Amino acid sequence: MTPLWRRRTTRTQWLVWIGWLLGALAFAQSWHTIAETTEWDFVWDAPTQAADMLGRMWPPRWGYAPAILKPLRDTIDIATLGTLLALLLATPVAFLAARNTSPHAVLLRPIALAIIAVSRSINTLIWALLLVTIVGPGVLAGILSVALHSIGFFGKLLYEAIEEIDPTQTEAIAATGASRAQVLIYGVVPQVLPTFAGVSVYRWDINIRESAVLGIVGAGGIGLQLNASVSQLAWPQVTLILMAILGAVAVSEFVSAKVRAAII
């Protein structure tokens, strides 16, 4: 008799099937949760709605352009200043969080990791919702919320980069009789500087996108005009705002890609 060949043993095959079954059940349950609260009439009507909306959106209302210049500039300011502030705050956090540079692995490292986890889990917009209630609506709330979410992003990527450095280079510096601080600036910083720069412009690019919607919750920038135009059903204005946002995003993406290419 020819021996049978199977990719998996019978037992693992069963486990795989059970896994798929559970996954399918979870999906069905989730779908049910959503379907329950959905007005299906609206859903079936969507194509008509979409066609109607798109029809109203063209042509853009060019005359509105001067009104969005200042908000557009605010949007870029929010992203830039927020990114800079985050970088300033995240650098020490990253050095505290990295196993090989943390001055105190039992006390300081968990604190740094907790800061990173909290900052990352809460989106920029949620930080904005919160900060608007504290410092009031406006650009300041936007900058702070961009910074508060970016700290976690920077902190995580930077401390991982610090943990991945070549230890013999730092050892060589330590062997010259250098102090701890000197080992840091000669042995560690040059190794992680390219990552720092790359991650910064990358995040700046993401933050431009994020700050474009911050105005929806009152935290400054062009999102405010977007929200207002949508609620007034001023579709030609919406088109113009979207075009402005897309332009800013495209430019920032181009700049960020160029800078990252130059660093490597």
Partner 1 sequence: MTPEPAAAPSVWRKPAFIASAWVRWALGIGALVYLVSALGSIDIAWGRVAAGLPRGWRFVASFLAPDFLSRGDEIVDGLTESIAMTATATVLGVGLAVPVGLGAARNLSPRPIYLVCRSLIATSRTLQELIVAIFFVKMFGFGPFAGMLTLTFASIGFIAKLIAERIESVDTAPLEAIRSTGASWLQWVNYAIQPQILPRLVGLSLYRLDINFRESAVLGIVGAGGIGATLNTALGRYEYDTAAAILLSIILIVLVAEYTSGLIRARLK
Partner 2 sequence: MLRLTGLAKRYDRSDPALAGVDLTVPDGEVVALIGPSGAGKSTLIRCINRLVEPTSGSVVLDGVDIAGLSASGLRAARRRMGMIFQEYALIERLTVMENVLSGRLGYVGFWASWFRRFPPEDVRRAFDILDRVGLAGFENKRADALSGGQRQRVGIARAVMQAPALLLVDEPTASLDPRTSRQIMQLIVDLCAERGLAAIVNIHDVALARHFAHRIVGLRKGAVVFDGPPQALTAEALTAIYGAGDWAAATDDA
Any contact of residue 126 with partner 1 (CB under 8 A)? yes
C-alpha distance from residue 80 to each of 58, 93, 112, 150, 191 (Å): 32, 20, 24, 11, 25
Q: Pick the closer one to partner 1 by CB: 13 or 168.
A: 13
Name the one residue in this structure whose structure tokens are 């969005």: 68
Exposure string (b/e) for 128-160, b if CB count within 10 Å is 16 or more? bbbbbeeeebbbbbbbbbbbbbbbbbbbbbbbe
Q: How far is the CB of 220 from partner 2 (least distance, A)?
A: 37
User: Contact between 118 and partner 1 (CB under 8 A)?
Assistant: yes
Q: For partner 2, which stretch binds (CB under 8 A), given 71-79, 132-140, 167-175, 246-254? A: 167-175
Q: Which residues have a Cβ under 8 Å from the Cβ of 131 and sit 6 or more positions away?
A: 141, 144, 145, 148, 219
Which of the ranges 1-9, 13-21, 23-31, 95-103 carries the binding residues for partner 1, by CB under 8 A?
23-31
Rg (alpha carbons) of the chain, rounded to whole number = 25
Distance CA 42, CA 209 (A): 29
Ramachandran sector of residue 58 (left: φ over 0; alpha: ψ -120 to 50; beta: rest)? beta
Cβ proximity of 153 and 120 under 8 Å: yes
Choose from partner 1, partner 2, none: what does 176 bind? Cβ within 5-8 Å by kind. partner 2
Closest CA to 211 of 82, 70, 64: 82
Q: Which of 33, 123, 176, 232 binds partner 2 (CB under 8 A)?
A: 176
234 binding partner 1? (CB under 8 A) = no
Tokens 């399918």 belong to 24
Rule CB under 8 A: say whether 242 interacts with partner 1: yes
Using the rule CB under 8 A, give the single segment among 78-86, 96-104, 175-183, 217-225 that binds partner 2: 175-183
Among 29, 62, 181, 261, binds partner 1 (CB under 8 A): 29
By the rule CB under 8 A, 12 interacts with partner 1: no
Applying CB under 8 A, the residues found at the interface with partner 1 are 26-27, 29-31, 33-35, 37-39, 42-43, 46, 49-50, 53, 73-74, 77, 80-81, 117-118, 120-123, 125-126, 129-130, 133-136, 138-140, 143, 209-210, 212-213, 216-217, 223, 226-227, 230, 242, 245-246, 249-250, 253
Applying CB under 8 A, the residues found at the interface with partner 2 are 166, 168-169, 171-179, 181-182, 185-187, 190-191, 193-194
